[in-house]
Structure 1
Amino acid sequence: MNFRFAWMRWRRRALSAVAARLEWPQALRRRPAPPPPLRELKTLCVELVNDLPTDQRLDLVTRIGGSREARDLWFMRSCFFRAVSLHFGEHEARRRMARLDVWLQA
């Protein structure tokens, strides 16, 4: 009777070890990409608003410079969109936001 339980325990451990090895490469493939450096995100945001009139540009650049993490820039997307769409149209604003979204989705 003792042998039977030992065999079941050994079989359960062996099967779980095999299952863990099969799942291990999949877990590596599902690992998310590291977030882009904040400095590059800030540079991109400044490029998005660089050709706006001086007063709006300085306000946005100051806010971009004060951001401490990518989440702050994510919340500023509406400000970027509003400023660019007022001066260049909604189509141009959507095009620029698409560039930013590629970086912020990572």
Structure 2
Amino acid sequence: MNTGNTCTWKPASAKAGVIPPRAEGAKARQWAAAPKDGFHVLRHTYASIVLEAGESVVTLARWLGHSSPAITLGYYAHFMPEAGSKGRGTIDGLLGKGGVSAR
């Protein structure tokens, strides 16, 4: 059982009205709320915001405790729509196609 999720996160979410309260007589781990309403959604939101802000995947992987940045990319690559734009702009500048100028 994930104690932080079932004993802290979900009760606080229920008290705030975000998820329905646990049914009368239900065990601590028995919540009607879907798994997507658990603590993991907060972690996913954090990672998404950090990547959209431009933090490196390598750094985020370390912060999240992933064993490899490849794992992080597998979950969060879709939050990196601008990935590659710096490199493309630099090459365009070198080739005289506008964009970022070469230094």
- Normalised TM-score (structure 1): 0.25
More helix by share: 1
Higher relative contact order (CA 8 A, sep 6+): 1
